[in-house]
Chains A and B, each alone.
Chain A
Amino acid sequence: MTRRLPLLNRSSWSKRRRTVAGALAGVIALALAGTACSPVEPAGNDTSGGNQSAAGQDVFGDPVDPAQVRQGGTLTVALSADPDKLDPTLSRSLYSRYVFHTMCEKLYDLGPDAKIVPQLATALPTISADGLSLSIPLKEGVKFADGGTLDSNAVKISINRGLTLAGSGRKSELGPITSIETPNANTVVIKLSKPFAPLTAALADRAGMVLSPAAVAKLGANFSTAPVCVGPFKFASRVAQNSIKVVKDPLYYDAAKVHLDAIEYRIITDSSIRSANLKSGDAQVADSLSAQDAPALQKDGSMTVLQSQSLGYQGLTINVANANGIGNPLKQLDTPIAKDPRVRQALDLSIDRAALVKSIFNGLNTVACSPISPKSEFTSDAAQVCPSHDTAKAKQLLADAGVTTPYKVTMITSNNPDSLRLAQALQAMVKDGGFDLVIKPVEYAALLDQQDRGDFELLQLGWSGRVDPDANIYNFVGTTGSQNVAGYTSPDVDKLLTDARQATDQAQRIKLYGDVVTQLQKDDPLIYMYRQRNLTGVSKKLLGIQVYPDGVIRTAFAGFAK
Chain B
Amino acid sequence: MRRYLLNRLWQSVVTLVLATIVVFAGVRALPGDPALALAGEERDPESLRAIREQYGLDQSWLVQFWQFVSHAARGDLGQSIRTGEPVRTMIATALPVTVELSVLAILIASVIGVGAGVVAAVRRGRPAEWAANALALVGLSVPHFWLGLMAILYLSVALGLFPASGFVPFFTNPIDNLHHLILPAVILGTGLAAVIMRQTRSSMLDALSADYIRTAEAKGLAPRAVIGRHALRNSLIVVVTIVGLQLGALISGAVVTERIFALPGFGKLTVDAVFQRDYPVIQAVVLVTATAYIGINLLVDLLYSVIDPRIRVRGDA
A residues near B (Cβ < 8 Å) are: 2-5, 7-10, 13, 17, 20-21, 24-25, 27-28, 30-31, 34, 37, 39-40, 42-43, 76, 78, 82, 84-87, 90, 92-93, 166-169, 171-172, 221-222, 224-225, 238-243, 266-270, 272-273, 276-277, 279-283, 326-327, 442-446, 448-450, 452, 463-464, 475, 482-483
Contacts and interface: CB of A to CB of B under 8 A. Distances in A.
Contacts of B172: none
B316 to A, nearest CB: 45
Interface in B119-167: 119, 122-123, 126-128, 131-132, 134-135, 138, 142, 147, 149-150, 152-154, 156-158, 160, 163-167
A449 B228 CA distance: 61
Contacts of B37: 444-445, 448
Contacts of A280: 152, 156-157, 160, 163-164
A282 to B, nearest CB: 4
B135 A27 contact: yes
A238 B85 CA distance: 10
Nearest to A451: B36
Contacts of B207: none
State the majority secondary structure of interface residues on B: helix
Given A21-B131, A448-B36, A243 B264 contact: yes
Contact of B165 (A40, A82, A224, A282): A282
Contacts of A39: 153
B268 interface: yes
B285 to A, nearest CB: 11
Contacts of B33: 445, 448-449, 452
5 contacts: A10-B223, A28-B134, A240-B80, A444-B275, A445-B277
Contacts of A76: 166
Nearest to A452: B36
A372 B267 CA distance: 42
Nearest to B142: A31
Contacts of A449: 31-33, 36
Contacts of A167: 47, 50-51, 54
Interface of B: 30-33, 36-47, 50-51, 53-54, 80, 82-85, 90, 93-94, 115-116, 119, 122-123, 126-128, 131-132, 134-135, 138, 142, 147, 149-150, 152-154, 156-158, 160, 163-167, 216, 219, 221-225, 228-229, 259-260, 262-264, 268-269, 272-273, 275-277
B259 A92 contact: no
Given A5-B225, A20-B119, A326-B45, A87 B84 contact: yes
Given A82-B272, A482-B44, A239 B264 contact: yes
Contacts of A5: 222, 224-225, 228
Nearest to A481: B44
A172 B50 CA distance: 14
A124 B46 CA distance: 30
A10 B223 CA distance: 8
A276 B262 contact: no
Given A39-B153, A84-B38, A240 B275 contact: no
Nearest to B52: A167
Nearest to B42: A92
B165 A268 contact: yes
Given A2-B216, A82-B82, A242 B262 contact: yes
Contacts of A9: 222-223
B128 A17 contact: yes
A501 to B, nearest CB: 16
Contact of A240 (B30, B85, B164, B225): B85
B157 A276 contact: yes
Given A2-B216, A8-B223, A268-B262, A239 B41 contact: no
Nearest to B151: A34
Given A21-B127, A242-B263, A282 B223 contact: no
A450 B33 CA distance: 10
Contacts of A267: 262
Contact of A445 (B45, B167, B275): B275
Nearest to A442: B31
A433 to B, nearest CB: 29
A450 B160 CA distance: 45
B157 A24 contact: no
B115 to A, nearest CB: 8
B83 A446 contact: no
A17 B229 CA distance: 19
Contact of A446 (B32, B45, B54): B32
A167 B90 CA distance: 23
B278 to A, nearest CB: 9
Given A92-B42, A273-B165, A240 B47 contact: no
A87 B126 CA distance: 64
Nearest to A86: B83
A90 B51 CA distance: 10
B36 A171 contact: no
A162 B111 CA distance: 58
B164 A273 contact: yes
A86 B80 CA distance: 13
Contacts of B84: 85, 87, 90, 221-222, 224-225
A24 B158 CA distance: 21
A39 B163 CA distance: 17
B36 A2 contact: no
A283 B272 contact: no
A445 B264 contact: no
Nearest to B85: A240
A527 B115 CA distance: 62
B259 A269 contact: yes
A448 B83 CA distance: 19
A241 B264 contact: yes
Nearest to A165: B50
Contacts of B167: 242
Nearest to A464: B41
Contacts of A84: 38, 40, 82-83
A266 B166 contact: yes
A261 B166 CA distance: 18
A283 B165 CA distance: 9
Contacts of B54: 166-167, 221
Contacts of A225: 84-85
| Residue among B45, B54, B94, B128 with the highest chain A CB neighbour number at 10 A | B128
Given A34-B154, A240-B90, A270-B259, A282 B85 contact: no
A85 B269 CA distance: 16
B37 to A, nearest CB: 4
B156 A276 contact: yes
Contacts of B41: 92, 463-464, 483
Nearest to B258: A242
A267 B263 CA distance: 9
Contacts of A169: 39, 42, 47
A266 B163 CA distance: 13
A442 to B, nearest CB: 8
A517 to B, nearest CB: 21
- 9 tightest Cβ-Cβ pairs between the two chains A and B: A8-B224, A445-B32, A242-B264, A482-B44, A24-B131, A167-B50, A446-B31, A34-B150, A280-B156
A153 B221 CA distance: 89
A140 B80 CA distance: 38
B83 A224 contact: yes
Nearest to A471: B42
B135 A40 contact: no
Given A242-B264, A267-B262, A452-B36, 13 more contacts: A20-B131, A37-B150, A84-B38, A85-B84, A169-B47, A171-B44, A171-B47, A225-B85, A238-B85, A240-B90, A241-B268, A442-B31, A445-B277
